[in-house]
Chains A and B, each alone.
Chain A
């Protein structure tokens, strides 16, 4: 059982979109039977309308139980006290495995606390950066620590990855949640009712709603319901509120026909009223047109079968489709007239289409589906654990460089039966001033990279432990394999048949102990649609060092391709060689070779303007969407992960026949890359391209990180 605290900056006594979100998160988490939710209230509870709807499983830590730790008179939890509050939660309910946090201040505090950082799962509705403002402090720390992040939509996820460099593997999409548990009131055929539910804020289109309501006394077949939350920004909009106050008073006094006004309803009561409407008023002023977050209200209305009337924005179109009939262009249309037009469409095909669409959309946001998504985000994995229930594994990872382990670690992080202990080696050849140490409760030592770490552990293996070594590539060409005591190594992971054969032939390693497990990929993360310009865009990842990656060979191929078909472009994503000291200052002629290639790119008329250099970055999943064909021009490689990833994303590949290439990429391998020119051109215009892209992708599924992780724990 995993115990999870839920901590948000919202005041749970108020009813608005964000507190309803908090309520729904609690409900969602409580559906996960292996998770015990603990809601930590950041404000005193003065109104229990929402609290009454919490499932029994949800334990509550009240503000009063924390307040003695705060400054006298404090009326809310401040950022500095977040960890204290969680300490109280632990004291009352037991150790916390995770903390699900919403709120920049709380996040900023907790991600900087060593005790809490690794337990935080962050939620943010704000996903677009502003170049003129610094990044939030919490985001910097969270990104570095690979803290799991929950966002509302795929668009928000893509934005976090591409614009804020957040690692794709730890960004989880959990859209707004809707619980289909409301009692639906029967919907009368007449009058046709428009419903608004939310705060009274002129930016939320209430001025248009007011104007619409003013037309209603003349129309007996139309009605409106306003389920009002709090008044917002009264001081900023005195004229509006002057008018609205009069209107509200008139409605409540019965002077306005066909308009109902409700306030202080429980959430369930509000939803019951909403369900009586034929249309939902979800318009907002242009100020909100660039919001990319999905409105919870829109989803709620959809779940109740009430088609929303929406701003005509890219986001709404991406959700409801181009053919949804109830968009309003608030800049060019008369909103009130358009509302009347829409409300007259009940019973038509448009209305039926809209109803069907909303039902479809609501099913995407069903609680059961989203509960699993949220559970995965919090837990760190979704499927059964990698280790059998009841057995514990304690793995010591000895390495000088852990960058190729990130996705593996993302997988095991959530498994309570797996403990990872680190042994950091300073370099490939040195541990530090003292000898390494293997704690007595470690059952497995995993040497990531077959360097001096593997040499030492193979000669100092403690009885009863398992020793696993992973050899990438360069180690095979150094003296490390010759000095490793292979008898002591229980399992050697290599990335291709080529390296397996090398280890057997050159070092006498028992072939039964060798496992070919290429560097894994996160296959699911790579399933994204291609951009239109991908068709004629080739990709090349990493050009350093020259003699290894053979940038010149890739450019030769590309030049030949361009000579035949100038539609093609090449996108190179790499650190530049002069940015790496050991590459640029190497004691060889690589620098001259690089200069020659770059001069050619800039001067050759065939190539001019066709090679784009994209700065190195972590958002490779988004980058591959713009790549139709990936190139691998190297003289040697381990398994060339970028080719695997690109194929998994649906790209084609042209791979030079480096040792081991055929065992991984057979149909894409060429002895001479120029032989692939015609194939690449044909593929760009191939009507069967979609199916072929799917087949490329499927061919890489076997290298998915989940499979690797399962295989690893079976070694």
Chain B
């Protein structure tokens, strides 16, 4: 733990940096959750932002395959996205409250060092709450990414603590998170509607749907012979752990096409989506159903499996296929409302895709211009696919519409971060424009009157730079410079700081023409550029430590613009003989 002095409010932040707080991430978790995180982060990087993903402190040391002894690089970068892992070793028996406090403590220290200009956290509230608290403490915007409906996302967090959470506590905590959020980003329209129903302002609620990758992970090149396929054509589908029907549908379809004399095999891709704690890709009963069907339809040797693939590797299997078939969106029942990542991931590789008229797939199909087939009509499906396979079809699909890609999907977040970033830049400019702390946040300037010499021998000690006659001082002061509009900036910027005097009373006495005519409109309403020059000169002078004095009185009726700089000047009435 750092011993640094951590401010309660971040005085300086990196405008383009977003801290993305998640429960788990690549490379130790490679499920859809982790890939969506990576995809959103990549999309933001492509739009010019810097994203640092902070996994829940303690991850991945709490994974069995990692444990406490395996070396875990704490800071890695993948595809331009930076991943930070924060070791923390909790007693497994501590309460949820204590655990979340520990999480917040660790994250707070890390975020104070990394200084993002905003923090975004993924649902649910357990992951988000520490991040929201930190954002509040550091006075930076908090953003919430809701990936699922609340009752369906119970599993999307650390399962170590098995306390039962009353539904109303969950509801309350989620509502707090919503209220604390400057912007809310939902994975689907349904989730967005749910957020709004629970109190999120519509104009602050956006949708970041799953999208396709413009540069999907490069998988190893495979050959069909490696999977035992010798057929001329190959159709693929995904097998979900809890919805194996796609596999059965594909087996039936391939059988139907083969009856028409087309040499085609089936590839069952046991896809990686789902919790990293899921067991084998398909449970034994489902596998038995598939093998029984294969046997009944006499398709032995024509149905192949791609097992235990990860999102990184799966592209190789896509590329083997002439087309990919989707009867469902391939997700487990526990998140029916969430549009799956897999179809978009598949579409990223350009392999032709056929989708059924499943409601969730229709939107996807429209987005990528995929063929839609009637899921109830096997014969019709077979005829369509046969025509496709035997026709002059393109092996790969050209680019998808631009709005399908993650770079465009994250547009609402880009817009919000742009606003946050601009505000941060403006905030820093405001702070810096007055010469850093001198005029805005630091202690008031030192009162030079406390130094006796300034009272009794100022003209011998301090140089004087003056606008206007300053008759007595001009003759008696060895180091006296008359300021003109031409030399005022340079003199104040370069000369040793002393007294910067505006002899206002003297200027009023002078009759035109005089040597001071160029200052005659000073602080009046008739020459704003002159007033601007004076403001800039005062800025230079104050920053460099000059003491600003005006021989007055300065009446608002004659000098309405004096108030733009009056806070910097000591006003001395005409009858005062010494400079105090």
Report A's interface with B, CB cutoff 8 A: 83-84, 87, 112-115, 128-135, 137, 140-141, 144, 155, 158-159, 161-163, 286-292, 311-315, 318, 329, 331, 433-435, 437, 531-533, 569, 609-615, 617, 619, 622-623, 625-626
List 12 additional A-B contacts (Cβ < 8 Å) besides A137-B426, A289-B560, A314-B558. Answer: A84-B203, A114-B415, A128-B561, A134-B430, A141-B422, A144-B422, A162-B528, A290-B556, A314-B560, A433-B46, A434-B399, A614-B529
Q: Does B484 contact A (CB under 8 A)?
A: yes
Bound together, the chains give a CA A155 to CA B525 distance in angstroms of: 7
Bound together, the chains give a CA A619 to CA B426 distance in angstroms of: 20
Contact between chains at B203 and A87 (CB < 8 Å): yes
Using known A-B contacts A569-B486, A626-B529, determine if residue A289 contacts B439 with beta carbons closer than 8 Å: no
B contact residues around A313 at 8 Å (CB): 556-558, 560
Contact between chains at A533 and B517 (CB < 8 Å): yes
Q: Does B535 contact A (CB under 8 A)?
A: yes
Which residues 487-527 of B have a CB within 8 angstroms of A? Answer: 487, 489, 517-518, 521, 524-527
Q: Does B563 contact A (CB under 8 A)?
A: yes
A contact residues around B484 at 8 Å (CB): 609
A320 to chain B, nearest CB (A): 14
Contact between chains at B528 and A290 (CB < 8 Å): no
B contact residues around A288 at 8 Å (CB): 556
Bound together, the chains give a CA A161 to CA B538 distance in angstroms of: 19
Bound together, the chains give a CA A302 to CA B535 distance in angstroms of: 35
Q: Does B28 contact A (CB under 8 A)?
A: no
Contact string, B421-457, partner A, CB cutoff 8 A, digits 1/0? 0110010011100100001100000000000000000
Q: Does B559 contact A (CB under 8 A)?
A: yes
Using known A-B contacts A112-B419, A141-B423, determine if residue A131 contacts B568 with beta carbons closer than 8 Å: yes
Bound together, the chains give a CA A619 to CA B536 distance in angstroms of: 14
Contact between chains at A132 and B203 (CB < 8 Å): no
A95 to chain B, nearest CB (A): 13
B219 to chain A, nearest CB (A): 20
Bound together, the chains give a CA A619 to CA B529 distance in angstroms of: 9
B contact residues around A115 at 8 Å (CB): 203
Using known A-B contacts A313-B560, A314-B524, A531-B521, determine if residue A141 contacts B529 with beta carbons closer than 8 Å: no
Contact between chains at A625 and B487 (CB < 8 Å): no
A contact residues around B202 at 8 Å (CB): 87
Bound together, the chains give a CA A613 to CA B484 distance in angstroms of: 12
The listed residue (A84, A135, A162, A569) touching B430 by CB distance below 8 A is: A135
Contact between chains at A286 and B486 (CB < 8 Å): no
A contact residues around B563 at 8 Å (CB): 128, 130, 290
Q: How large is the interface on B (under 10, 10 to 19, 20 to 34, 35 or more residues)?
A: 35 or more
Residue among B402, B426, B562 with max Cβ neighbours from chain A (10 Å): B426
Bound together, the chains give a CA A291 to CA B525 distance in angstroms of: 10
Contact between chains at B201 and A140 (CB < 8 Å): no
Contact string, B55-66, partner A, CB cutoff 8 A, digits 1/0? 000000000000
B232 to chain A, nearest CB (A): 34
CB nearest neighbor in B for A624: B529
B contact residues around A626 at 8 Å (CB): 527, 529
Main secondary structure of the interface of B (DSSP, over half): helix
5 interchain pairs, CB-CB under 8 A: A84-B201, A128-B564, A134-B430, A291-B556, A533-B517
B contact residues around A311 at 8 Å (CB): 557
Contact between chains at B564 and A129 (CB < 8 Å): yes
Report B's interface with A, CB cutoff 8 A: 46, 201-203, 214, 399, 402, 405, 407, 415-416, 419, 422-423, 426, 429-431, 434, 439-440, 484-487, 489, 517-518, 521, 524-529, 531-533, 535-536, 538-539, 542, 555-565, 567-568
Contact between chains at A437 and B46 (CB < 8 Å): no
B417 to chain A, nearest CB (A): 11
Contact between chains at A434 and B402 (CB < 8 Å): yes
CB nearest neighbor in B for A623: B529
B contact residues around A137 at 8 Å (CB): 423, 426
A contact residues around B214 at 8 Å (CB): 433-434
Bound together, the chains give a CA A476 to CA B214 distance in angstroms of: 35
Residue among B521, B561, B568 with max Cβ neighbours from chain A (10 Å): B561
CB nearest neighbor in B for A330: B557
A121 to chain B, nearest CB (A): 19
Contact between chains at A162 and B555 (CB < 8 Å): no
The listed residue (A131, A135, A289, A290) touching B567 by CB distance below 8 A is: A131
A685 to chain B, nearest CB (A): 15
User: Which 10 residue pairs spanning A and B have beta carbons closest together?
Assistant: A289-B556, A290-B556, A132-B567, A162-B528, A290-B560, A289-B557, A313-B557, A612-B486, A158-B528, A140-B426
B contact residues around A140 at 8 Å (CB): 426, 429-430
B contact residues around A130 at 8 Å (CB): 563-564, 567
A contact residues around B489 at 8 Å (CB): 613
Bound together, the chains give a CA A47 to CA B3 distance in angstroms of: 60
Using known A-B contacts A128-B563, A314-B524, A433-B214, determine if residue A286 contacts B46 with beta carbons closer than 8 Å: no
Using known A-B contacts A129-B564, A314-B525, determine if residue A113 contacts B531 with beta carbons closer than 8 Å: no
Bound together, the chains give a CA A614 to CA B415 distance in angstroms of: 36
B contact residues around A614 at 8 Å (CB): 529, 533
B contact residues around A622 at 8 Å (CB): 528-529
Contact between chains at A132 and B439 (CB < 8 Å): yes
CB nearest neighbor in A for B423: A112
Bound together, the chains give a CA A155 to CA B527 distance in angstroms of: 9
A contact residues around B422 at 8 Å (CB): 141, 144
CB nearest neighbor in B for A140: B426
Bound together, the chains give a CA A245 to CA B409 distance in angstroms of: 67
Bound together, the chains give a CA A531 to CA B528 distance in angstroms of: 11
Bound together, the chains give a CA A702 to CA B114 distance in angstroms of: 55
B422 to chain A, nearest CB (A): 7
Bound together, the chains give a CA A140 to CA B433 distance in angstroms of: 13
Bound together, the chains give a CA A114 to CA B412 distance in angstroms of: 10
Contact between chains at B525 and A292 (CB < 8 Å): yes
A contact residues around B419 at 8 Å (CB): 112, 114
Contact between chains at B525 and A315 (CB < 8 Å): yes
A contact residues around B555 at 8 Å (CB): 286, 289, 331
Residue among B202, B529, B531, B565 with max Cβ neighbours from chain A (10 Å): B529
Bound together, the chains give a CA A331 to CA B542 distance in angstroms of: 31
A contact residues around B557 at 8 Å (CB): 286, 289-290, 311-314, 329, 331
Contact between chains at A318 and B567 (CB < 8 Å): no
Contact between chains at A131 and B560 (CB < 8 Å): no
Bound together, the chains give a CA A435 to CA B486 distance in angstroms of: 52
Bound together, the chains give a CA A234 to CA B524 distance in angstroms of: 33
Contact between chains at B518 and A533 (CB < 8 Å): yes
CB nearest neighbor in A for B536: A615
Contact between chains at A292 and B560 (CB < 8 Å): yes
The listed residue (A131, A531, A609, A619) touching B439 by CB distance below 8 A is: A131
A contact residues around B402 at 8 Å (CB): 434, 437
The listed residue (A83, A162, A312, A433) touching B531 by CB distance below 8 A is: A162
B175 to chain A, nearest CB (A): 14
Residue among B399, B542, B556 with max Cβ neighbours from chain A (10 Å): B556
Residue among A112, A114, A435 with max Cβ neighbours from chain B (10 Å): A114
B contact residues around A619 at 8 Å (CB): 528-529, 532
B444 to chain A, nearest CB (A): 10
Bound together, the chains give a CA A112 to CA B565 distance in angstroms of: 29
CB nearest neighbor in A for B486: A612
Contact between chains at B538 and A163 (CB < 8 Å): no
The listed residue (B423, B525, B565) touching A131 by CB distance below 8 A is: B565
Bound together, the chains give a CA A318 to CA B560 distance in angstroms of: 13
Bound together, the chains give a CA A574 to CA B134 distance in angstroms of: 45
A contact residues around B542 at 8 Å (CB): 131
Bound together, the chains give a CA A313 to CA B525 distance in angstroms of: 10
B contact residues around A161 at 8 Å (CB): 528
Bound together, the chains give a CA A434 to CA B400 distance in angstroms of: 11
CB nearest neighbor in A for B215: A433
CB nearest neighbor in A for B439: A132
B contact residues around A569 at 8 Å (CB): 486
B contact residues around A131 at 8 Å (CB): 434, 439, 535, 538-539, 542, 564-565, 567-568
Bound together, the chains give a CA A159 to CA B518 distance in angstroms of: 19
